[in-house]
Amino acid sequence: MATDDPIMASVAGRYASALFDLTKDENKIDEVEKDLGTFQALLHESEDLQRLVRSPVIASEDQSRALSAVLAKAGIGQLTSNFFKLIAKNRRLFAAEDMARAFKALAARHRGEVSAEVVSAHALSDEQTAELKAVLKQSVGKDVTLSTNVDASLLGGLIVTIGSRMIDSSLKTKLANMKAAMAGAN
pLDDT digits (tens, 9 = 90+) for 114-125: 888 899 988 899
Which of 42, 90, 47 is closest to 69 using CA atoms?
A: 42
Looking at the fold, whether 86 and 146 belong to one and the same domain comes out as no
Cβ neighbours for 64, distance < 8 A, ≥ 6 positions apart: 85, 88, 89
84 and 122 assigned to the same domain: no
Instruction: Indicate if 41 and 87 belong to the same structural domain.
Output: yes
Q: What is the pLDDT of residues 125-183, one digit of tens each?
A: 999 999 999 999 898 888 888 888 888 888 888 999 887 788 888 888 888 888 888 88
The confidence band for 2, taking pLDDT boundaries of 50, 70 and 90, is very low
- Amino acid code (one letter) for 121: A
Q: How many CA atoms lie within 13 Å of 27's alpha carbon, on the beta-carbon side?
A: 0
Last residue in a domain, options 106, 129, 162: 106
Give yes or no for a contact between 116 and 146, defined as CB atoms under 8 angstroms apart: yes
* Domain end call among 106, 136, 158: 106
Domain hosting 29: range is 7-106
Q: Are 75 and 142 in a shared domain? A: no
Do the domain assignments include residue 95? yes
- Assess if residue 68 is contained within a domain: yes
134: amino acid identity, one letter = A
- Whether residue 117 sits in one domain with residue 69: no
Q: Into how many domains does the chain fold?
A: 2
Residues 125 and 101 in one domain: no
Q: Where are the beta strands (DSSP E) in the chain?
A: 113-120, 143-150, 158-162, 165-168
pTM here? 0.68
DSSP string computed for 78-111 = HHHHHHHHHHHHTT-GGGHHHHHHHHHHHHHHHT
Last residue of a domain, one of 68, 86, 106: 106
- Tell me, yes or no, whether 82 lies in a domain: yes
Helix (H) or strand (E) holding 51: helix 47-54
Q: Give Cα 117 distance to the centre of its chain.
A: 8
Note whether 181 and 120 are same-domain residues: yes
Residues 132 and 98 in one domain: no
